[in-house]
Structure 1
Amino acid sequence: MGYLILKHLHIGCVVLSGTGFLLRGLWMLADSPWLQRRSVRVLPHLVDTILLGSAIAMTVISHQYPFVADWLTAKLAGLLLYIGCGTMALKRARSKPQRAAFLLAAVLSFAWIVSVALTRNPLGFFATLA
């Protein structure tokens, strides 16, 4: 599979993953029964698996690796923050206000990851402040 196809697949999965996460977060805050649907529980895992697989494939093809390319290291660190905040937002935080705060933190970290990818700068949207 060519790099350009992988990149488009990756970007598509980024959009699906981010939109799906935000939707699930809003449903969680609204106590929506949609969260209990099988497709809502399974689809994010499928999308995120394809997202990760395409990221790894692009890394190998381009020979740009985290801990070598600063911007990829920043994306990886942001991903870990996003996963941690997302887990707290959707499952682990005890109260709705805590979940809402973690949801906001996860969405902001997601936006920062995207800005790092677009600018290929480890500071992402913070680069304009420097």
Structure 2
Amino acid sequence: MPYSLVKHVHLTTIGITLTLFVLRGVWMMTGSARLQARWVRVVPHVNDTLLLASGLGLAVMLGQYPLVDGWLTAKFFGLLAYIVLGTVALKRGRTKGVRVAAWIGALLVFGYIVAVALAHDPFPFRH
């Protein structure tokens, strides 16, 4: 598969992930029953699987790997933080305040991951 196609899939799924996460966060904050719709529980997981697969594919194509290359290591640990915060925000938070705080935290981590990806630097804000 050509690099440009894998990169396009990766960038597209990033946009879908962010859109769905923001939408689900708004629904969480407003108490919308839409958050329980079957597609809302399935589509984000399918998209995130494609996102992860395309990211791994790009890493292999570039010959750069998490725990070897600093910027990919930062993205890897950022991804883990995003997953934990996202889970608290949308499922495990005991109060709405905790869920909203976790949602905001997850969005900040998402922004950090994007900044690291653009800069190829684990400290993207120091420049």
Q: How does 1:110-121 map to 2 (within 5 A)?
A: 110-121=110-121
Question: Paired residue for 2:81?
Answer: 81
SS at match of 1:127: coil
Assess if the C-alpha contact under 8 Å between 1:121 and 1:127 holds in 2.
Answer: no
Provide the rounded CA distance (Å) in 2 between the counterparts of 1:105 and 1:4.
Answer: 31
Partner of 1:40: 40
Distance (whole Å) between structure 2 residues aligned to residue 69 and residue 36 of structure 1: 39
Superposition deviation, residue 98 in structure 1: 0.7
Could you list the structure 1 runs, at least 4 aligned residues long, displaced by more than 6 angstroms after superposition: none
Other structure's SS at 1:56 match = helix
How far apart are 1:96 and its partner, in Å?
A: 0.6
Alignment of 1:5-20 (within 5 A): 5-20=5-20
Cα displacement (A) at 1:104: 0.4
Farther off after superposition, 100-109 or 62-71: 62-71
Q: Which residue of 2 aligns with 1:31?
A: 31
% same residue: 48
Letter of the 1:127 partner, please give it: R
Mapped partners of 1:96, 1:86: distance in 2: 13
- Render the CA deviation track for 1:58-113: whole Å, top value 9, x for unaligned: 11111101122110000001000000100011111100111110000000000100
Instruction: Give the structure 2 partner of residue 58 of structure 1.
Output: 58
CA contact (8 A) 1:89 1:99 kept: yes
How many residues are treated as equivalent by the alignment? 127
Q: TM-score, normalized by length of structure 1?
A: 0.94
Structure-2 residue corresponding to 1:127: 126
CA distance, structure 2, for counterparts of residue 16 and residue 127 of structure 1? 28
> Cα distance, 1:127 vs. partner?
2.0
